[in-house]
Structure 1
C-alpha cells in the first residue's frame, strides 16, 4: 500500500488514505507505551507525523510501515472518508 495522505486526529488515531482510494483510521494508542513511541504522548510531537509513502514517521524516530497500518486499520466507507 502506498500512503498518499496522513492526518493526525485528537484521539491518537491517524486518518490514512491509500493511493488506490481506500481510507481508514489507525489507532496509535496501543503503541504509546513502547520506548520508541513514548515521545508521541506529547500531542505536538504526535501531530508532526510525516508521510513517506510506504511508511509514516515522526521526528523522534518512531515509524509505522504501510503494511502494519493496513493490517490493523479500521477501514472507512467512501462516504465516511475525510
Structure 2
C-alpha cells in the first residue's frame, strides 16, 4: 500500500488515505510502550509525522512501514472521486 495522505489526530490515531482510495484509521497507542516510540507520548511530537509513501516516520526516529499499517488499520471507507465536467 502507498500512503497518499496522512493526518495525525490528537488521540494518537492516524487518519490515512491510501493511493487506491481506501480511507482508514491506525491507532498508534499500542506502540507507545516501546522505547523507539517513547517520544511520541508527547502529543506535539506525535503530530510531527512525515509521510514517506511506503512508510511513515517521526523526527524522533520512530517509523512504521505501510505494510504494518495496512495489516492493522481499520478501513472506514473510500474517497469519493471528484466529478469533473
TM exceeding 0.5:
yes
Q: Whole-Å Cα distance in 1 between the matches of residues 43 and 10 of structure 2?
A: 8
Show structure 1 runs of 5+ residues with no match.
none
Alpha-carbon RMSD: 1.0
- Displaced runs of 4+ in structure 1, greater than 6 A? none
Q: Whole-Å Cα distance in 2 between the matches of residues 24 and 14 of structure 1?
A: 8
2:69 match: 69
TM-score, structure 1 normalization: 0.93
Q: Deviations over 1:3-56 (max 9, x none)?
A: 010101111000011100011000000000100000000111000000000000
Q: Whole-Å Cα distance in 2 between the matches of residues 77 and 2 of structure 1?
A: 16
Show structure 2 runs of 5+ residues with no match.
80-85
- Write 1 or 2 for the structure with the bigger share of helix: 2
TM-score, structure 2 normalization: 0.90
